[in-house]
Amino acid sequence: VTTATPATPATTEVDWRRLSVRMLLVHPVVESLRALPVIFGLLIVGSRSGGGGWWSLIGVGVAVALGLLRWATTRYRVTREHIEIQRGLVNRRVVTVPRDRVRSVDITAHVLHRVLGLVKVAVGTGESDRQRHESLVLDGMATGDAARLREELLHQRRPTFASPVLDGMSVPIGAAVGGPATAGPTTAGPPGPAVDAGAGGYTAPVSGPRYSETRLAKLSPAWILYGPFTLSGLVTVGVVLAFAWRTINEAHVNPERVGIVRSVTDELTAIPIGLAVVEVIIAAMIVIAVLSTLGYVLAFWNFSLTRNEAGTLHIGRGLLTTRATTIEERRLRGVELSEPLLLRAVGAARCIAITTGLRVGRGAERGGSLILPPAPRSEALRVGEDVLGQAAPLTTQLVGHPRPALRRRLTRSLFGAAVLIGLAGLLSWGVSEPVWVIGVAIVAVPLAILVGIDRYRSLGHAVVGHHVVFRLGSLVRRRSALSADGVIGFTLRQSFFQRRSGLVTLTATTAAGRQRYELLDVRAGTAVAIANQALPGILNPFLVQAQVQASGPSRSPASVVENG
């Protein structure tokens, strides 16, 4: 228990804090690494590359300088009501977010960060995109500071403000200036343990109340076997190829002259083309499988999901780059069970939290809401149930979608196949026999039909208690259970063709997760019923009996009121 500081005239000033000085080391190194191809080109090939390389290097210098400037001009503080981040040298601007808008804290540290004891902190709020989404990121905070910030933002606001000491202080801030400095001791009850009441501002308690943590899930080494089926290695292959391509370009290396590349191409040109294709495909599969497994280990090593008594979920994972995400459970709007095709084939699934402040699949926040890496489906269901507090939304048998939806899925996928065949036709125009086009068609059409059927079979919905359940997708099948609390509105979309078959696509919009959850091709009546259950009462004025209402949107002239 810390002691309160001596009573001083009450002000609302709280000291600004800075990022760690060690961050000065990180920026130059990271920027230099990024510029490695350029540097490589300059050092190996020297002046032959002309002025371009030097310009790139100057660019690197500018990037480093900007990084340093960013460090020097970034300050942050946590006051009683707000978290404030100040940036900029000339255009100094302060981002202020009320503390009760903080939904999540995401702490990542890559290798260099970890060596220096630093982390990057991203504070997630419930703000929509337009309002400077990226701005609550503090890159280069000392590990201890970050942990303290997280505690302050997510675990300590309620207890602190509920303490009798601060209740006694609950006067408007303006009035507090010059007011009595003896606020703390005058109130009844025991003085709060760690509240700097005298300053009137907010100082972080160093030792707040301790909350217990319960572990909900932990990585089992056997799950690593699912690694190859995640195909995450595809991305790595892409990055490596891009890096190699850049290096070749910058250094003006002729790939033909590199020994390995040359022997491989010689080998492949020597054998029949069919065999060569098969060999390349097998090699690619092996490489991708190995890299995917490696990716799984790197990303999810030490994965653990815990629940803190204070009302947060905590996710920690990562072998080299570590990531620790803390989500406020009160803001959790549901859970998504996601099954990419290959993982589905081997009975595995992932679990993703649907929460505000952490958007799915966007920039820095990507993957922050993953609450279970690819694991056995039963495990995913168990974790989903734990997090939701009930199993039904993830296990209930869903209602399938009407028959015309199948026709629409098939039309879509066959159209895709037709485009592919058309492209093949264009490419082989006059170059070779139409045998290629036929080959593409033989492969693409049955695949398209299979995908179409599978997409139809995936379609499903249900309203389970307080949750609306959506399921769709074949290549990635997602079953999302979205709490009605999180539904912000509904969109009912009908294409010309959907209107003819009486179907509609219902989208629930929300501030959480993917921001939109879709039900493809449900009957209009079903869509209305679902929307009505999720937002009770809101739709009532707009509802009519189905028989009375003709289907077209323009056929109720009696009710039309002209204006303007």
Partner 1 sequence: MAEMTLRPPQLLVSRRAIGYWTVRAAIGWLVLLAGETVLWLNNQQDPAIVYEVVLGITLVAAVLHLVVMPQWRYRVHRWERTGEAVYTQSGWFNVERRIAPISRIQTVDSRMGFFERIFGLANVTVTTASAAGPLKIHGLDRELARELVDDLIRTTQATPGDAT
Nearer to partner 1 by Cβ, of 317 and 331: the residue is 331
Q: Please identify which residue in 91, 431, 433, 542 interacts with partner 1, judged by CB under 8 A.
A: 542
Nearer to partner 1 by Cβ, of 97 and 299: the residue is 97
Q: Please identify which residue in 81, 84, 127, 329 interacts with partner 1, judged by CB under 8 A.
A: 127
Give the binding range for partner 1 (CB under 8 A) out of 17-25, 335-343, 473-481, 533-541. Answer: 533-541
Nearer to partner 1 by Cβ, of 26 and 354: the residue is 354
Q: Please identify which residue in 73, 236, 247, 509 interacts with partner 1, judged by CB under 8 A.
A: 509
Q: Please identify which residue in 11, 96, 128, 186 interacts with partner 1, judged by CB under 8 A.
A: 128
Q: Check binding of 411 to partner 1 (CB under 8 A).
A: no
Q: How remote is the C-alpha of 422 from its chain's centroid?
A: 36
Q: Tell me phi and psi for residue 341, to 5 degrees.
A: -50, -50
Q: Check binding of 488 to partner 1 (CB under 8 A).
A: yes
Helix (H, G, I), strand (E, B) or coil at 15: coil
Q: Which of residues 354-393 bind partner 1 (CB under 8 A)?
A: 356-357, 359
Alpha-carbon distance of 115 to 26, in angstroms, equals 10
Q: Check binding of 399 to partner 1 (CB under 8 A).
A: no
Cα–Cα nearest to 16, from 70, 87, 65, 117: 87
Cα–Cα nearest to 453, from 474, 471, 470, 469: 474
Nearer to partner 1 by Cβ, of 126 and 191: the residue is 126
Alpha-carbon distance of 410 to 482, in angstroms, equals 28
Torsion of CA 519, 124, 200, 87, to 10 degrees: -140
Please report, as a single letter, which amino acid is at residue 91.
N
Cα–Cα nearest to 486, from 362, 393, 371, 381: 393
Q: Check binding of 525 to partner 1 (CB under 8 A).
A: yes
| Shortest CB 310 distance to partner 1, Å | 20
Helix (H, G, I), strand (E, B) or coil at 342: helix
Q: Return the DSSP state at 513.
A: B
Q: Please identify which residue in 162, 278, 282, 538 interacts with partner 1, judged by CB under 8 A.
A: 538
Query: How many residues are present in the chain?
Result: 564
Q: Check binding of 438 to partner 1 (CB under 8 A).
A: no
Instruction: Give how far Cα 518 sits from Cα of 128, 129, 212, 495, 522, Å.
Output: 19, 20, 38, 15, 10
Nearer to partner 1 by Cβ, of 55 and 415: the residue is 415
Q: Return the DSSP state at 369.
A: T
Q: Please identify which residue in 30, 32, 68, 126 interacts with partner 1, judged by CB under 8 A.
A: 126
Q: What sign for the dihedral angle of Cα 244, 249, 250, 253?
A: positive
Q: How many residues make contact with partner 1 (CB under 8 A)?
A: 59
| Shortest CB 210 distance to partner 1, Å | 29
Give the binding range for partner 1 (CB under 8 A) out of 226-234, 297-305, 352-360, 433-441. Answer: 352-360
Instruction: Give how far Cα 383 sits from Cα of 10, 372, 482, Å.
Output: 48, 7, 16
Q: Check binding of 524 to partner 1 (CB under 8 A).
A: yes
Nearer to partner 1 by Cβ, of 67 and 513: the residue is 513
| Shortest CB 533 distance to partner 1, Å | 12
Alpha-carbon distance of 6 to 162, in angstroms, equals 22
Alpha-carbon distance of 213 to 215, in angstroms, equals 7
Q: Check binding of 528 to partner 1 (CB under 8 A).
A: yes
Binding mask 544-563 for partner 1 (x = CB under 8 A): xxxx-x---xx-x--xxxxx
Q: Check binding of 491 to partner 1 (CB under 8 A).
A: yes
Torsion of CA 496, 497, 499, 501, to 10 degrees: 170
Nearer to partner 1 by Cβ, of 187 and 312: the residue is 312
Q: Which of residues 41-100 bind partner 1 (CB under 8 A)?
A: none
Q: Check binding of 185 to partner 1 (CB under 8 A).
A: no
Please report, as a single letter, which amino acid is at residue 334.
G
Q: Please identify which residue in 220, 265, 495, 533 interacts with partner 1, judged by CB under 8 A.
A: 495
Q: Check binding of 135 to partner 1 (CB under 8 A).
A: no
| Shortest CB 513 distance to partner 1, Å | 10
Q: Check binding of 463 to partner 1 (CB under 8 A).
A: no
Give the binding range for partner 1 (CB under 8 A) out of 74-82, 88-96, 277-285, 487-495. Answer: 487-495
Binding mask 101-120 for partner 1 (x = CB under 8 A): x-x-----------------
User: Are 11 and 199 within 8 A, CB to CB?
Assistant: yes
Q: Which residues have C-beta within 8 Å of that of residue 142, sequence separation ≥ 6?
A: 20, 22, 117, 118, 119
Nearer to partner 1 by Cβ, of 131 and 432: the residue is 131
β 304-308/213-218 pair status:
antiparallel
Nearer to partner 1 by Cβ, of 180 and 489: the residue is 489
Task: Give Dmax (Cα) for the chain.
Answer: 94
Nearer to partner 1 by Cβ, of 116 and 487: the residue is 487
Torsion of CA 27, 28, 31, 32, to 10 degrees: -150
In the sheet with 370-376, reading across from the earlier edge strand, the strands are 370-376, 348-355, 332-340, 476-483, 467-472, 460-464
Give the binding range for partner 1 (CB under 8 A) out of 26-34, 370-378, 472-480, 540-548. Answer: 540-548
Q: Which of residues 295-334 bind partner 1 (CB under 8 A)?
A: 331
Where do contacts with partner 1 occur on this chain (CB under 8 A)? 101, 103, 125-130, 331, 356-357, 359, 485-496, 499, 507, 509-512, 515-516, 524-525, 528-529, 531-532, 535, 537-539, 541-547, 549, 553-554, 556, 559-564
